[in-house]
Amino acid sequence: MVTLPRVATLAHGRTALVAAVLLLIVGIALAEPSPSSAAATTSATCSPHATKGRGFVGVTAQDILLGNSTFRQCSLNALARAHVGVLREVFYWAGIETAPGEYQFGPQDDYVADAARRKMSVLPVLLWAPDFRSTAPGSGRRHGFYPPRNPRDMGAFAAVLAKRYGPNGSFWQANPQLPYYPITSWQIWNEPNLPVYWADGPNPAAYAALLRGAADGLHSVDPQAEIVTAGLPYSADRRTMSPEKFLKGMYAAGGRGAFTTLAVHPYSDTVKRMVVALARMRRVMVRNGDAGVPIWVTEVGWATSGPRSVFTVNRKRQAQLIAQTARVLSHQRRRLRLRGFVIYNVRDSKPTAGDHDFWAFHAGLFDLKGRAKPAVKSLRSAARHL
């Protein structure tokens, strides 16, 4: 789930999505220091605090790019103290490659630098092909994200990122004062079994081709790069393809070997049902010869307000569920071969005028004013030894 683009897509279609995200990207570029200076800048009120997390616990932290500097620095420190070792963030392809072969890295440079100062790893989600590389038609576009025309284009884009942020990348060479935390894991796309993220309708074979194209590009730069599939969620939307069926389709299309880690978004009302969902996915993997491939829960969470849903609870219950998730998934780590889990999301947000409100806007660990919810404290306690 990617909150702002997803809602804009459902409510207004791709035109509003493009305009909204580009405005956000441009706004960030204008507001933040240049990449060279950003790597040396920190908030005076919240000096970086290094995490002791070992990488099993992560948070989807999109709002850190959009929030003000004080919230950004202080919330990162709070996450570090809660033993969060991974920050998951969308690297919007269309916002980075603004014209063929022309790239703008300012926000990503800032983000990677702030994570490195806290000894956190970054898991980028590569999403949203620019129009000049997209399968989107010139008119009559459906609501949602369109994949690139050529999977090799995704591979070429991913290779550019790996050359910058991967091992021995140009970003690290230009910023030797930073702790060295190169990006070694890359998540390719988001939730392609949902129509909103694959506008022509879920297509496991086409996604497998995109995954392989990205893997080829990344491995040309970093042969050891971890290729993480897009997270596959369960959904009541009848247009959605179930994660099991989608994964089977990927295998049928020759997808085995194109990824090193399978990502799942097992949103559930209880942690027990979450584990059941993960076990079902593990069975599909075993039957297709991938018993040794780990599963990474790259999104899971619960809202504390907003419209009623099975994922909406009160703040106390959110804290309990997140602590229980940490304990149970740690206990199930060996049986299900779990790589880790990532909480969605760092901060509450609110829909813009005309957007459809839904639970994901309210699933933050911090509220709209930037105040920590009880879940931050419960995560810190539960994740202490993970």
Q: What is the pLDDT of residues 219-231, one digit of tens each?
A: 999 999 999 999 9
pLDDT tens-digit series, residues 265-316: 999 999 999 999 999 999 999 999 999 999 999 999 999 999 999 999 999 9
Please enumerate in sequence order all residues whose Cβ is within 8 A of that of 91, keeping only pairs 6 or more positions apart, or say none. 108, 124, 125, 126, 127, 161
175 preceded by a cis bond (ω within 30 of 0)? no
CA-nearest of 198, 199, 144, 190 to 11 is 144
Instruction: Count the neighbouring beta carbons within 10 Å of the beta carbon of residue 226.
Output: 18
Q: Are 111 and 181 in contact (CB under 8 A)?
A: no
The span from the CA of 144 to the CA of 194, in Å, is: 9
Q: DSSP code of 189? A: S
pLDDT tens figures, 326-368: 999 999 999 999 999 999 999 999 887 777 899 999 999 999 9
pLDDT in tens, 23-72: 344 333 333 333 333 444 444 579 999 999 999 999 999 866 557 788 99
Burial pattern 34-46, b for ≥16 Cβ within 10 A else e, equals: ebeebbeeebeeb
Pairing between β-strand 121-127 and β-strand 86-92 as defined by DSSP bridges: parallel
124: nearest Cα among 79, 81, 154, 80: 154
Write out pLDDT tens, residues 182-224.
Answer: 999 999 999 999 999 999 999 999 999 999 999 999 999 999 9
Residue 64: the pLDDT is 67
3-state helix, strand, coil in the chain (%, to 5): 45, 15, 40
CA atoms within 13 A on the CB side of 264: 30
Q: pTM score, two decimals? A: 0.90
Share of the chain above pLDDT 90, in %: 80
Total domains in the chain come to: 1
pLDDT at 21: 43
Instruction: Tell me: pLDDT of 109 over 50.
Output: yes
pLDDT of 348: 95
Average pLDDT in the chain: 89
Specify the pLDDT at position 62: 87
Sequence-distant (6+) residues with CB within 8 A of 259 are 188, 211, 215, 227, 228, 229, 293
Tokens of 48: 């970086």
**What CATH number is associated with residue 201?**
3.20.20.80
Domain that residue 247 falls in: 3-382
**Residues 258 and 227 sit within 8 Å (Cβ to Cβ):** yes
Burial class of 104 by CB neighbour count within 10 A (0 to 12, 13 to 18, 19+): middle
The Cα 143–Cα 78 span in angstroms is: 37
